[in-house]
Structure 1
Amino acid sequence: MSYTCETAKMESWRAFLTGFLVLCLLSVGSAQSSSPDCSFPAIYNFGDSNSDTGGISAAFLPIQAPYGEAFFHKPAGRDSDGRLIIDFIAEHLKLPYLSAYLNSLGANYRHGANFATGGSTIRKPNETIYEYGISPFYLDMQISQFDQFKARTNDLYQEAKKPSDRINLPRPEEFSKALYTFDIGQNDLSVGFRKLSFDQLRAALPDIINQLASAVQHLYNEGGRTFWIHNTGPFGCLPVQRFYILNPEPGLVDQYGCIKAQNEMAVEFNRQLKERIIKLRAELPKAAITYVDVYAAKYGLISNAKKEGFAEPLKVCCGYHVNYTHVWCGTKLIINGSEVYGPSCSNPSSYISWDGVHYSQAASQWVANHILNGALTDPPTPITQACHRR
């Protein structure tokens, strides 16, 4: 597989991704290993809205209906109609869904915690590249929250006088056995596209990648040993990127309607991320670090949407977007004296995009099914065996 994928890299980035996906899906069995399953006791997740299970809702205004309608049957702090990839990871590992670290009520941290919050970036929001922040919970802040969480729960665990006092607390010895997951970087590109030239953003990528690597190194020094790191998805395929481009110039978009230059930047981000992860493996010899090609999975779904039973890939389930009139999912707007709502579609499971920015539960499940078995990871290891160094 390694030789085939390396050869494919010599082709155009789009041909590589399509060919890579097809190849890896045909060879899922070869990614399996005879190694025993890891039996992770917990998951600690860091990221943005792609994996936020309630952080931004707890910190600010709660996400409103119809979010959550397809699975939770009510808003559940997720920017989707239902579950996210992180939820399917938890299910696959037979662990409960992660409570957001910022939740003040109803949280259970026995099997991990979620530090991801919508709008988060890797770099600190007030750095020059941003000028203004889209979330105060950038990656270093999430890492600081983890440090506080680990120290505080350890104190509470030691101070507990009876087993029932520890029922919702992680066991101190299990932090080193937990799975540490990352899904962040999309918003760094988003703000970069708005505020910088392509050359400026490209020049900023090494620093962004290094800050992500520093977070991994910090967790390693805190005892973390298993890391599952998602790359960033095909940013140019988010329907919101086309809301204000009704008649694209020739060459701006690909055959699926995705903005080529934005996807190429995402591919470059991912290339540098993969190279940095390879270096991290040498720097952190006791760590098992898996690079997860979410881009290939998502672009594979988008490029084969109809064959996989989905609608046109840039169609949006929830919201009203006609010409330059936009009513976002779950909101309403007065247009010509009449209220126009941003309702959800009748069959969300047939849509890839839920609200123009975030994926539907059905799409997230499709992606999860194509990454958790190790077919699109480096090394090609199923998540259940990701603790083993390759």
Structure 2
Amino acid sequence: MGFLVQLLAFILSLLLVSMRAEDIINSPQPCDFRAIFNFGDSNSDTGCMAAAFYPEVSPYGETFFHQPVGRASDGRLIIDFIAQHLGFPLLSAYINSIGTSYRHGANFAAGSSTIRRQNRTVFEGGTPFTFEIQTEQFNQFKQRTGKFFNQARKSSFRGHFPRPDDFAKALYTFDIGQNDIAAAINRVGTEDSHAVISDIVEHFSKQVQNLHEVGARTFWIHNSGPIGCLPVAMPVHNNATNHTPEAGYLDQNGCVNYENDMAREFNKKLKNMVVKLRAKFLDASLIYVDMFSTKYELISNANKEGFVEPSEICCGYHKDGYHLYCGNKGMINGKEILAGSCEDPSKYISWDGVHYTEAANRWIVNRILNGSFSDPPVPITHSCRALKL
């Protein structure tokens, strides 16, 4: 009897949340976002690593920008489409000093970034711009722009920075964790993966709480995509002998099961973290966005949606166990190879084996902006109002 009462109470709570979410969706008053502040890795880096170290080379950026612009794609990223959807210009990378404006926000994301600190140099695929550093950069940005805005009352430069009260009315977006999961996968068997993932999520939680402490109130948090479905992870690009993987190693889409299972565990713990922070911060709106399901849906229906097989890579050379990444030249079997791009990137999901094409990013973002893959299920334009649920 007690279990039945609890079950009915749970169902009623779901119905109430659904009804309130419907009220938000139908509300004529969307959020009055003044800016966007983004934190993440190469999935949303709009120029940090290119400004700090080596710039991207052609053919990166060829589809939309017609030149390399610091994005790991042929065109726009999901964060670019989000900014445009909300009526903002594309976000400038925080450390990019050339031709930048931060009036409507800033992007702190950096390629190869992780939530936890990693014992890797930049040349080993690491980065100094961990999530912790990104939030510290934001704090510095907020403090310095506030002082500058108040001191330079008559300066035209004030138009290049957010107003002090814009920070509380901004949207804070997050897409990070995939590199942490990849690092944990590489160390399977040498450490407790479950404990590592729990620790990663705890580090994430700490930084979100730090941002809340300095005024952030609306959080749009992406979970990890299906890392086992990245073409460079698939045996088809890594198996020079064409050896058939053992049963259960791959799923029906050719994705590596145990890698996706690691991502699922991270996502489950990340969602639990979001739920806990909602209970702690009643003045904040925290939206959990299921990017894994969105991307996996695209991968599962690639041909139906007009794409080639999801294992195919548009830019780069990945054959017979050899890997030459997009835009690079190399000698393979005595022959110089230029790892150029495919004829039509819009037909591909994967741009370079790790990152998505603009066409795939557009497909994904069209599924997430309306709240279909969000918890609670509210569109991004009304995400600030989810605190009322």
Q: TM-score normalised to the size of structure 1?
A: 0.89
Q: How far has the Cα of 1:156 moved from its partner?
A: 1.2
Aligned to 1:157: 149
Of 98, 101, 123, 1:105 maps to 98
1:312-323 aligned at under 5 Å gives the runs 312-323=309-320
Q: How far has the Cα of 1:325 moved from its partner?
A: 1.9
1:26-175 aligned at under 5 Å gives the runs 32-34=25-27, 36-126=29-119, 134-175=126-167
Aligned-residue RMSD, C-alpha = 2.0
Aligned to 1:219: 211
**Letter of the 1:367 counterpart:** I
Q: Does the 8 Å CA contact 1:122/1:140 hold for their aligned counterparts? A: yes
Residues 165 and 377 of structure 1: is their aligned pair in 2 closer, same or farther, counting only changes over 3 Å? same
2:35 and 2:22 map into 1 onto residues whose CA distance is 27
Residues 288 and 35 of structure 1: is their aligned pair in 2 closer, same or farther, counting only changes over 3 Å? farther
1:340-373 CA distances to partner (integer Å, 9 max, x unpaired)?
1101000000000000000010001111000010
Residues 38 and 198 of structure 1: is their aligned pair in 2 closer, same or farther, counting only changes over 3 Å? farther
Of 342, 346, 349, 1:349 maps to 346
SS at match of 1:340: strand
Aligned to 1:10: none
2:301 and 2:23 map into 1 onto residues whose CA distance is 24
SS at match of 2:219: strand
Of 287, 291, 311, 2:288 maps to 291
1:238-257 aligned at under 5 Å gives the runs 238-242=230-234, 243-245=237-239, 246-247=242-243, 248-257=245-254
Where in structure 2 are there 5+ consecutive unaligned residues?
1-6, 12-17
Q: How far has the Cα of 1:164 moved from its partner?
A: 1.3
**Letter of the 1:292 counterpart:** V
Q: How far has the Cα of 1:163 moved from its partner?
A: 4.7
Q: Does the 8 Å CA contact 2:218/2:383 hold for their aligned counterparts? A: yes
Mean alpha-carbon deviation: is it higher for 41-50 or for 132-141? 132-141
Rg larger in 1 or in 2? 2
Q: How far has the Cα of 1:335 moved from its partner?
A: 2.6
1:42-76 CA distances to partner (integer Å, 9 max, x unpaired)?
00000000000000101110011100000000001
Mean alpha-carbon deviation: is it higher for 331-340 or for 255-264? 331-340
SS at match of 2:156: helix
SS at match of 1:167: helix
Q: Does the 8 Å CA contact 1:51/1:116 hold for their aligned counterparts? A: yes
Residues 29 and 305 of structure 1: is their aligned pair in 2 closer, same or farther, counting only changes over 3 Å? farther
Mean alpha-carbon deviation: is it higher for 47-56 or for 324-333? 324-333
1:234 and 1:304 map into 2 onto residues whose CA distance is 14
**Letter of the 2:212 counterpart:** Y
**Letter of the 2:104 counterpart:** H
Q: How far has the Cα of 1:165 moved from its partner?
A: 2.3
1:137 and 1:186 map into 2 onto residues whose CA distance is 15
- 1:276 matched to 2:270? The reply is no
Q: How far has the Cα of 1:195 moved from its partner?
A: 2.4
Of 236, 249, 265, 2:228 maps to 236
Q: TM-score normalised to the size of structure 2?
A: 0.90
Of 366, 371, 380, 1:369 maps to 366
Q: Percent identity?
A: 53
1:238-280 CA distances to partner (integer Å, 9 max, x unpaired)?
0011232443222210111100111111111101110110000
Residues 30 and 300 of structure 1: is their aligned pair in 2 closer, same or farther, counting only changes over 3 Å? farther
**Letter of the 1:105 counterpart:** I
Q: Does the 8 Å CA contact 1:39/1:93 hold for their aligned counterparts? A: no
Residues 336 and 266 of structure 1: is their aligned pair in 2 closer, same or farther, counting only changes over 3 Å? closer
1:189-234 CA distances to partner (integer Å, 9 max, x unpaired)?
1111112338622221111111111111111110110000000000
Residues 236 and 336 of structure 1: is their aligned pair in 2 closer, same or farther, counting only changes over 3 Å? closer
Q: How many residues align?
A: 363
